[in-house]
Amino acid sequence: MDSIIVTGNGPLNGQIPIAGAKNACLTLMPATLLSEEPLTLTNAPRLSDIKTMSALLQSLGAEVSALQDGQVLAMSSHDLNNHTAHYDIVRKMRASNLVLGPMLARLGQAIVSLPGGCAIGARPMDLHIEALEALGAEIELKDGYLHAKAPRGLKGATHELRFASVGATENTVMAATLAKGTTVLKNAAREPEIVDLVRCLRAMGAQIDGEGTSTITIQGVDRLHGATHPVVTDRIELGTYMIAPAIAGGEVECLGGKMELVESFAAKLDEAGISVTETDKGLKVARRNGRVKAVNVTTEVFPGFPTDLQAQMMALMCTAEGTSVLEETIFENRFMHAPELTRMGAQIEVHGGTATVTGVERLKGAPVMATDLRASVSLILAGLAAEGETRVSRVYHLDRGYEHVVRKLEGVGAKIERIKDE
């Protein structure tokens, strides 16, 4: 196993390129199952989760080739020969459950392992099941697997999600593209990754309106054709690197960043005294002098403050002037980074879904442990501002969602290295 060692090294300066979005790519890849014709994704991120999704699609009989150093994914589902997504792949990555809708729509049947528990919450699939049942699917849970079938095909319907779940919206929209008739999905999630998915499906011949709003209308078609689609910029990687100059000082331009992807987050940085400006290449973030101001944050569904940036924001608030309150409303157990940050001298009190952070002058480097993807990067960000050395272990969590972290941060002056644990 590897660890990453970060040594506080003063202000950062330079540019960081932002990759394609993991959470868009993980829903775009299963869309290949909807058509016999090839689907090619460009600007794909090089991450272990993408490799896991490739392995899952290949286990169903799809062809997946990573070209151009992995930034292009050429996929074809012409000869699917298996409709079971096995536990040994699904347990590695929950997003595997995004093959359920497309397989059901294309093959009329699908068997998908339930992912099981996760570090940040229970994360059930009840909303996915309710929506697909509304489209006429028969779904039963047997031996830890969801057995879904629609022998006469899916049928369009009007359905309201009880919660604007990202995954349930993605599975339902994909399934409805090949259903007979019209589906109206209400209280749909509005995340940019869903807008990107709909753009890709439309390029494949789907008839969809309303992406980015709470009501998405899908007019079913008989078949979808091939397409080439560029993956949208990763707004969570973007937000993460926007915090680097905020916490360590300096000025960094995030290449490919767009304000529309991070509006509510950027507004919080502005409130904390961090300047965020649009450039012709991306977003420039700077903290020249003075300490960060404490601000309160509540995570919400898009366009609210993203839960996937809560841990990184907590790291920043650990160094702020004053006390901030962070409320996590999306996942029930997403403060695992707090005790690790406390090991670095942070002052954090957690009660249920609320964390109260009293900023300190300076964090101190310490050995800490990554517990999930976003928690791991928050520890690296804290290390950029800490006195001495921070050693983050179990960084395999990081590889799931961040490509070339060491190279990207080194490029703006950070003192950081990856080492193999003895």
Catalytically active residues, by annotation: 118
> For residues 241 and 331, which CB has a smaller minimum distance to ligand EPZ in the complex?
331
Positions in the binding site for ligand EPZ (CB under 6 A):
23, 26, 94-95, 121-128, 163, 165-168, 307-308, 330-331, 373-374, 401
Nearest distance in Å: CB 373, ligand EPZ? 5
Residue nearest to ligand EPZ (CB): 167
- Measured CA to CA, the distance from residue 264 to residue 259 in angstroms comes to 9
Distances (CA, A) of 350 to 59, 218, 326: 42, 43, 9
Nearest distance in Å: CB 193, ligand EPZ? 6
Cis peptide before 303 (omega within 30 of 0): yes
Q: What DSSP character marks residue 128?
A: H
Nearest distance in Å: CB 25, ligand EPZ? 9
74 in the Ramachandran plot: left (φ > 0), alpha (ψ -120 to 50) or beta?
beta
Nearest distance in Å: CB 420, ligand EPZ? 25
Distances (CA, A) of 233 to 26, 223, 254: 13, 29, 11
> For residues 93 and 150, which CB has a smaller minimum distance to ligand EPZ in the complex?
93
Listed in order, strand segments (DSSP E) in 62-126 are: 63-67, 72-76, 84-85, 109-113
> For residues 3 and 378, which CB has a smaller minimum distance to ligand EPZ in the complex?
378
> For residues 190 and 284, which CB has a smaller minimum distance to ligand EPZ in the complex?
190
- Measured CA to CA, the distance from residue 343 to residue 392 in angstroms comes to 12
- Measured CA to CA, the distance from residue 139 to residue 221 in angstroms comes to 23
> Phi, psi at residue 57, to the nearest 5°?
-60, -40
Q: What DSSP character marks residue 369?
A: E
Tokens of 1: 């196993």
> For residues 105 and 398, which CB has a smaller minimum distance to ligand EPZ in the complex?
398
Dihedral angle over CA of 293, 295, 299, 303, nearest 10: -80
Nearest partner of 221 among 377, 105, 52, 350, judged by Cα: 105
> For residues 5 and 240, which CB has a smaller minimum distance to ligand EPZ in the complex?
240
